[in-house]
Amino acid sequence: MAPKGKKSKKQREIDWAADAYFDKNRSMIYIEHTLECPIFTTKAEEFAAYVAQEAPNRIIQLVRNHNGKVPPRDGAFEIGFSQNARTSVHQLWSGIDKGPPRRDKFPPEYESLMQEIHKILKKFYPDAVEKNPLEGMEDDDAAPAYE
């Protein structure tokens, strides 16, 4: 008789750089995190949700531990970012040599990392940053709201 347990579904690996899946508006967040404690997984998802909220015009794809190809290092929490799957990865945070305590492994706040993401997009990929159409206009230059 076969054991009655949960069947583990092997997550299908998607090559986001392949023509079938590639989207230039899909930003990639690469997070390597240890599996020793569930807080590492929670923080990875929390950061991806924060970036998705702060950049609603971008599609955010979270890639954890190289899609399971490489086992994570003990105590690892590293965040990398790329504008899309075909561009280079820029490291935003490394918590490998931080801690204990465990809370030091994670970024204290995400605003500075978001600023770094905007700098990367602006410096290396200027077409990826949307500009405010009213930026630089004086109040007198703006079109009237009504006629």
Would 139 be classed as within a structural domain? Answer: no
Would 105 be classed as within a structural domain? Answer: yes
Residues 74-113 have pLDDT tens digits of: 889 999 999 888 888 999 999 988 878 888 999 999 999 9
Would 56 be classed as within a structural domain? Answer: yes
The domain in which residue 84 lies consists of 26-128
- Give the mean pLDDT of 40-46: 94
Confidence (pLDDT) at 127:
59
- Give the mean pLDDT of 48-74: 89
- Give the mean pLDDT of 31-45: 92
- Best CA proximity match to 51, nearest among 111, 108, 127, 95: 111
State which H helix or E strand residue 51 sits in.
helix 38-54
Would 9 be classed as within a structural domain? Answer: no
Terminal Cα-to-Cα distance of the chain (whole angstroms)? 80
